[in-house]
């Protein structure tokens, strides 16, 4: 699919990051640094952060997919850069612009292979994770005397529970795709040999078929729980802010009209 026209062009990206548009309303981001197993350096952190910021400003895009080229999704940080003292500050979005990202639009990780360290930190904060059967997940930082510092640890314990999170963080052992699914880190495992990105595009297309307002506002409600607010407090804040804005919008009116008229809704681009 050709690149659509956008109100503002995508930010300038290093050659290790490729973007494409595999289906309407969907941005595909591919880490393309195969010799380094898609390890992310400082330049890439900021480029990815800026790309997600840009995504949130584009009314014609609803969902992004992140994947890797070759046998790795992302092996983590560029340790050669660390060793040489060349690493810079990471952006507010965290590792790869994703591990601490709040953002407005959902991001699906299509994990095609090795997903270690910072790569695993990214998927822990992703909205949906689809993994190849050959994917492996680990937080191996403890084995080289460091720690996962880009937001994964407090988020991990909410996803998998204290004992499993402790096992991952303190042993550094690898989880296969199916075990990661059983633990709640992965939504779906695609059999080895099948295209994990194609499966992610199907999921993203389903999301993109719905009201863009409802997608954004529903995700905001989930984020409030993810960040630790109690259910009643979160519902009150969410209802008085995001839901109130959606309630006054054209897409909510159109959704109700289409149900009454027994027809498919005709969504307009979100103004949220």
pLDDT tens digits, 211-225: 999 999 999 999 988
Any idea which of 7-16, 54-63, 86-95, 201-210 has the lowest mean pLDDT? 86-95
Domain chopping of the chain, boundaries = 17-208, 212-261
Token pair for 187: 């939504």
CATH homologous superfamily for 17-208? 2-enoyl-CoA Hydratase; Chain A, domain 1 (3.90.226.10)
pLDDT band at 41 (very low <50, low <70, confident <90, very high): very high
pLDDT band at 84 (very low <50, low <70, confident <90, very high): low
Residue 141 a catalytic site member:
yes
Any idea which of 153-157, 176-180, 261-265 has the lowest mean pLDDT? 261-265
Active-site entry in 47, 93, 119, 121: 121
**Quick one: pLDDT at residue 96?**
97
Residue 118 a catalytic site member:
yes
**Quick one: pLDDT at residue 56?**
97
Residue 126 a catalytic site member:
no
pTM of the model: 0.90
Q: Which whole number is the average pLDDT over 100-106?
A: 96
Residue 121 a catalytic site member:
yes
Q: Which whole number is the average pLDDT over 76-84?
A: 76
Mean pLDDT of the chain: 91
Active-site entry in 64, 119, 141, 148: 141
Active-site entry in 39, 64, 72, 77: 77
């Amino acid at each position: 699919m050709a690149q659509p026209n956008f109100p503002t062009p995508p930010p300038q990206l290093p050659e290790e990051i490729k973007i494409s548009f595999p289906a309407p309303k969907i941005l595909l981001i591919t880490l393309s640094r195969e010799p380094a197993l898609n390890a992310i350096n400082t330049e890439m952190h900021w480029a990815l952060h800026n790309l997600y910021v840009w995504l949130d400003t584009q009314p014609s895009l609803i969902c992004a997919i992140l994947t890797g080229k070759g046998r790795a999704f992302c092996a983590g940080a560029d340790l050669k850069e660390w060793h040489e003292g060349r690493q810079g500050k990471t952006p507010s979005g965290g590792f790869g612009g994703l591990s601490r990202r709040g953002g407005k639009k959902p991001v699906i990780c299509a994990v095609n292979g090795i997903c270690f360290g910072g790569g695993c930190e990214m998927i822990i904060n992703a909205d949906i994770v689809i993994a190849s059967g050959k994917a492996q997940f680990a937080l191996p930082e403890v084995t080289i005397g460091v720690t996962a510092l880009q937001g994964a640890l407090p988020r991990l314990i909410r996803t998998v529970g204290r004992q499993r999170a402790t096992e991952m963080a303190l042993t550094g052992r690898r989880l296969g795709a199916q075990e990661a699914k059983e633990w709640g880190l992965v939504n779906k495992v695609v059999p080895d040999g099948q295209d994990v990105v194609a499966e992610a595009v199907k999921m993203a297309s389903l999301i993109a078929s719905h009201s863009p307002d409802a997608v954004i506002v529903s995700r905001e409600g989930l984020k409030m729980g993810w960040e630790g607010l109690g259910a009643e407090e979160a519902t009150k804040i969410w209802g008085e802010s995001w839901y109130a804005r959606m309630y006054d919008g054209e897409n909510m009116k159109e959704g109700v009209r289409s149900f009454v008229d027994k027809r498919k809704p005709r969504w307009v681009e979100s103004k949220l």
